Structure 1
Amino acid sequence: MLIAMVPVFTLVFFVLLFKKKASKFEIVSIVLGFLGIVILSWPTQGIMNVSGNILGNVLLILAAISFALSLMEKLEDGSPVVHMRNVLWIASIVLIPLALLFEKPLQMDINHTQIFSIIILGMFHAGIVYILYNLLIQREGALFASFSNYNVPVIGVTLGYVVLKEPLFSQHKIGMLIILFALLFSNEDIFRKWVR
């Protein structure tokens, strides 16, 4: 749900803060993408606690707003590697004191598998992905970059099916199809070429 909300808030901030006019294609794309994520992530084993608690929902919305606001800042001029290095240093300045305050980071019991997972997350999630994301924002803009969030659940479900042999229900296929149509609508030129 967090991923689905980022393009929604990005568009809202563009319209409210930057007086950008949203095209019909952008609005349709965001609505379709959000619907696709809802269908894709809906519980398959009956309705569990779908609504969650109020604090959890508030935190979810705040996280989406925070992520959407981070897209508003286009880091112009200079290397994306340097920009992301600086961003991660600043994040560390904030996170290290919070970790010391709320956790016991010096008393961690980490095995080799967890260390390997942390290294992979650091290299790919916090490193390479954000460099590529920064390049995408520089070249195509924040709104277009926010649409890339719709790819994450589709790839995650597909990898879960192929690699982990997780079940792929019809609702997953419908949700992924809707998301792919949303991505098609995100670019008016590509959509018109596809229709022809």
Structure 2
Amino acid sequence: MNSSPTTKDWIALVALVMTWGSSFAMTKIAVASMDPAWVMALRLSVAGIFLSGVVMLTKRQWPRGRELWLWFAGLGLIGHAVPFFLVSWGTQFISSGLSGVLMGAIPLFVIVLAHFFLPDEKLTRMKAVGFVVGFVGLMIVLGPEKLLRFEGQGMALVGEIAIIFSCFCYATHSLLARRIPFHGPVEQATAVCLSGGAMGVIFAALYAPHGLDQATTFAFLCVIGLGIVPTAIATLLVYVIVRSAGASFVSYSNYLVPVYALGLGAMLLGESLTANVGIGLVLILAGIAASRMRKAA
């Protein structure tokens, strides 16, 4: 792994932020008429089919070996099927703003887990400071008042726990993606999405057998969009970046996605941007810069 991200890594990170930032609106539309379990299952299935076409068109070889496919199934479960469902399900009980705050825990989980399980991504003082500063920046972007909406009882609490657990799943997935004994990102992304989609469909059929009865055509179109952009393409980008620059570097995207989403809303929908967004972005970038300083104090 490169000790310092290259220009290609930064370009890939920006692309990842843009693909993930496109998921919020499509997910919101899809879950309005489709059970969250089916949103998860179908977006993964679409992603697997889309990437399978890429594998065949580029004449790549399918991965072989039972042990390797067990790795793919594990990544599909913990990095896709479980967190996709938990996030979609949990946001039914809490505000989207609070969801954004809770998702900011992903980078914090990553740096702690990476310290213990990835020898070349040890936690340093500057890295810790950088991630905390970035988290503060995220809080400013989303608005500090979102923290006041955290509830300690009822279904809201259950929803909050579900999203926090999904953050742990995403963080674990990033670490496992570094350790998998396979180096073909396209084939790996394809196998992971296919595995996750198969498990997702089985789960959705058992959990919500009638979850598609009220689904609209627009919801299905959104699921297709979810499958191709923030699932297939994003998964491919994650595996490319995590191999090249590390799991901690990939996790920065979780701080930048809300900024991108707010900026996109301002450009396309005429939504207003407050000074919080600019101040928060400066802190996020400062945190990233601090965490990339090689010398630990």
Compute the TM-score of the two structures, normalised by the length of structure 2: 0.57
Matches within 5 A, 1:117-136: 117-136=222-241
Structure 2 unaligned blocks of 5 or more: 1-100
Aligned to 2:195: 90
Counterpart code for 1:6: I
Matches within 5 A, 1:18-167: 18=118, 21-42=122-143, 50-52=149-151, 53-73=156-176, 74=178, 75-103=180-208, 104-111=210-217, 113-167=218-272
State the 1:109 CA deviation.
3.0
Identity across matched positions, percent: 25
User: Conserved in 1, the CA contact under 8 Å of 2:103 and 2:163?
Assistant: no
How far, CA to CA, are the matches of 2:118 and 2:150 in structure 1?
Answer: 33
How far, CA to CA, are the matches of 1:106 and 1:93 in structure 2?
Answer: 17
How far, CA to CA, are the matches of 2:147 and 2:137 in structure 1?
Answer: 19
How far, CA to CA, are the matches of 2:190 and 2:214 in structure 1?
Answer: 26
How far, CA to CA, are the matches of 1:120 and 1:62 in structure 2?
Answer: 25
Matched, 1:187 2:292: yes
Compute the TM-score of the two structures, normalised by the length of structure 1: 0.84
How far, CA to CA, are the matches of 2:181 and 2:137 in structure 1?
Answer: 33
State the 1:76 CA deviation.
4.6
Structure 1 unaligned blocks of 5 or more: 190-196
For residues 162-190 of structure 1, the C-alpha deviation after alignment (integer angstroms, 9 at most, x for no partner) is 1111111122222222112122223226x
How far, CA to CA, are the matches of 2:256 and 2:244 in structure 1?
Answer: 18
Q: CA RMSD in A?
A: 2.2
Q: Structure 1 residues 47, 62: closer, same or farther in 2, change over 3 A? A: closer
User: Conserved in 2, the CA contact under 8 Å of 1:4 and 1:33?
Assistant: no
Aligned to 1:192: none
